Amino acid sequence: MEVSRQVRQADTSLLPIRFRDVQDAIIIEDAVPVPQIIEKRTPFLESNTEGITLQELNHDFIPVFAKDNESTISHTEFVEVVYTALSMVFPREVLSDVECRVSHKVCGRIPSAVGKPANLLEEWEKTQYYERFAFSIEVKSICDTISGNELSLSIVGVRSYNHTNLYGRKGFEMFKLAIGFCNHVCTNMCINSDDGLLSEILVFNVKDLQMKAVALFQDYNVNKHLSMMKQLPQMSITESQFATLLGRTRLYQYLPKQEQKQLPLLSFGDSHLNSIARDYYRDKRFCKSDDGYLNLWNLHNLFTNANKNSSYIDTFLDRAGNATNFVNGIASALNGDKAYQWFLS
């Protein structure tokens, strides 16, 4: 049985200085229990991933550096470090449970089970770990609404062992971390790459990782990001402009390298663009209007939805940031900026 919620305006004096002007932030209080239907949310990342709990991850094998047998920073340590950093920067806020996604499972066995048929292996003889890992934590008490879509401040971390050289001695390990907003309508992640994304965190230990996380959370300007997103529903492209944009994005992938370098970066491929084209007509939340117009907030969500559904874990955050840059570039092109005009001409 779920409880109904009563909300009151947050005491923004408790927030870090740059967060005090957030509109519609709420603090949630329990009230009288009433029966409710709970809708199951889609994961923040799908593609080829599967869900897993932190308890299950705790039983996984932890890879080591081959030449000195030193342990890597585990997936669960990554989560603990970021959660601690969040609690330091937002000590009074309501944090959600951690949602975890994994892919590229690596199976093994203990030495005494070498040569034993797989169907005869006992559970305690098996080892496993996931090469790629992502998690999300929401700051549920910092939220806003855009075009009827409820957003909440969210943090996403990504770890992929294939970005770390495990064949040598212990060295720097790479992580990705972002802070932005999760759209509750679709769980799409809205990331501002200017100050909300660290796509290459190189650290030697968990202390360094925590310092990087704290710095990211403190430097992120939530008001600037929200203001930027709130401008997107006010601008639209026609069906003809969308068709041109889609055609140009397909051509972009095959341009000569020298010509491609002269244009802004676009990291979306054919599978993403197919999804965007389909959802332009079929997505009931973000499709075109009856007269063929598509506002840029919906365009942004078509890109982030394609990213969520068709990107591997290790490219997810970079593409989320690129989606924001690209749609903001299209907005600038509509206002006369020449940098992104190629995609509309």
| Residues 200 and 260 placed together within one structural domain of the fold | no
Same domain flag for 241 and 205: no
H helices present in 49-100, as ranges: 54-57, 75-89
Domain's final residue, options 227, 243, 273: 227
pLDDT tens across 90-102, in order?
Answer: 999 999 999 999 9
Q: What pTM value is reported for the model?
A: 0.85
Residue ending a domain, choose from 188, 210, 227: 227
Instruction: For 113-129, give the DSSP string.
Output: GTT--GGG--GGGEEEE
Same domain, 58 and 162: yes
Of 174, 168, 173, 164, the C-alpha closest to 66 is 168
Domain count, the chain: 2
Same domain flag for 219 and 79: yes
Shared-domain flag, residues 23 and 140: yes
Cα-based angle 109, 114, 118 (whole degrees, multiple of 5): 65
Q: What is the pLDDT at residue 324?
A: 97
Residues 86 and 192 reside in one and the same domain: yes
Q: Is 248 in the same domain as 176?
A: no
Of 165, 193, 227, the residue that ends a domain is 227
Q: Is 272 in the same domain as 295?
A: yes
- pLDDT, tens digit, 9 for 90 and up, residues 36-45: 434 467 999 9
Three-state SS sequence of 21-36: CCCCCEEEEEEEECCC
pLDDT in tens, the chain (345 residues): 333 333 333 344 434 444 444 444 433 344 444 444 344 679 999 989 999 999 999 988 888 888 888 899 999 999 999 999 999 999 999 999 999 999 999 988 878 888 888 888 888 888 889 999 999 999 999 999 999 999 999 999 999 998 988 888 999 999 999 999 999 999 999 999 999 999 999 999 999 999 999 999 999 999 999 999 999 999 999 999 999 999 999 999 999 999 999 999 999 999 999 999 999 999 999 999 999 999 999 999 999 999 999 999 999 999 999 999 999 999 999 999 899 999 999
Residues 30 and 159 in one domain: yes
Does one domain contain both 156 and 265? no
- Contact (CB, 8 A) for 208 and 79: no
Q: Specify whether 146 is located in the same domain as 265.
A: no
* Residue 172 shares a structural domain with residue 271: no
- Could you tell me the residue range of the domain that residue 162 belongs to? 3-227
- Give me the amino acid identity at 328: N
List pLDDT tens digits, range 187-239: 999 999 999 999 999 999 999 999 999 999 999 999 999 999 999 999 999 99
